[in-house]
Amino acid sequence: MELPIFNDNLKSSGSWTSRLARELDLYREWRNSRTAPPGGTGTYLSTGTDGERLAEALASVAGWSTGDGRFDRERLMEVNRILRGGEAPGELLRVAPPRLLSELHDPAPASMLPHLLDLAFDWFTTEGFGELHPLEQATLVYLRLLDLSPFAAENDLTALVAAGFYTSRGGLPVLILSPMERDEAELKQFTQALEAAFRMLTQPLVEYFADALIRTMQREREGTV
């Protein structure tokens, strides 16, 4: 089962995979030297989002990734519910078209969202998806959820936290978020990578997330998170 906006263009680059592996070794060594349990969250908060809600959502995702290893539409809904302060499940999904993220962004009608979310999570359990690097898995999950924009609010952060399930399951920190205050160059890089992804060129966004995750681990080790 293939997703509508992606094709088979993910090929692990020796550059980002080796850099990520080196930083992960340092990060794990640092975590193991601490008295706190391993599994940092890299909590760079998004502007306007309550930190306690984000921490709760991250803790839920981390627990699921090391528990039964299951992530599906119901758990995605739970992440969005937490981030929005506990709204009733029936009020979470959007009923109107979302904000367009690109000239190529063509979100599905609201009536199709439950079915399309189930199809997406079915695809995320296929053998081919499982053969990808955890960071590539996380990127595809983020992109598909962003493409659907299924919620009335907090679509971007919900997608990022959901993507963190797949990095956490793969032994990486649970959250792949850039710092809250990104400089102009980084914002431009992200915008260009996202635009390329909507043109079915996903590798730039994978590499962007790899760099962001490396910075997250470095800043957590340096105590600047």
Residue with tokens 């193991």: 32
Please state the pTM of the whole predicted model. Answer: 0.85
Predicted local distance difference test score (pLDDT) of residue 103: 87
For residue 220, give every residue at least 6 positions away whose Cβ sits within 8 Å of its Cβ, in sequence order, or none.
Answer: 27, 40, 42, 173
CA distance 48 to 67: 30
Predicted local distance difference test score (pLDDT) of residue 13: 55
Q: What angle do CA 216, 99, 104 make, to 5 degrees?
A: 85
| Segments of the chain scoring below 50 in pLDDT | 1-2, 4-5, 7, 37-48, 179-181
Name the packing angle between helices 113-123 and 134-148 (round to 10°).
170
Closest C-alpha among 10, 26, 46 to residue 155: 46
CATH superfamily of 48-96+107-177: Fido-like domain (1.10.3290.10)
Which two structure tokens, joined as six digits, stand for 9? Answer: 């263009």
Tens-digit pLDDT profile for residues 158-178: 999 999 999 999 988 876 665
CA dist 68 to 30, 46, 63, 170, Å? 27, 29, 9, 14
Predicted local distance difference test score (pLDDT) of residue 81: 94
Which two structure tokens, joined as six digits, stand for 3? Answer: 């997703």
CA distance 199 to 145: 16
C-alpha dihedral sign at 196, 129, 134, 43: positive
Predicted local distance difference test score (pLDDT) of residue 1: 40
C-alpha dihedral sign at 202, 39, 217, 178: positive
Predicted local distance difference test score (pLDDT) of residue 41: 46
Predicted local distance difference test score (pLDDT) of residue 225: 54
Given phi > 0 = left and psi -120 to 50 = alpha, else beta, which region is 49? beta
Predicted local distance difference test score (pLDDT) of residue 10: 55
CA dist 164 to 90, 94, 117, 157, 209, Å? 25, 23, 17, 11, 11
Which two structure tokens, joined as six digits, stand for 98? Answer: 């979302």
For residue 116, the Cα-to-chain-centroid distance in whole angstroms is 18
DSSP code for 35: S
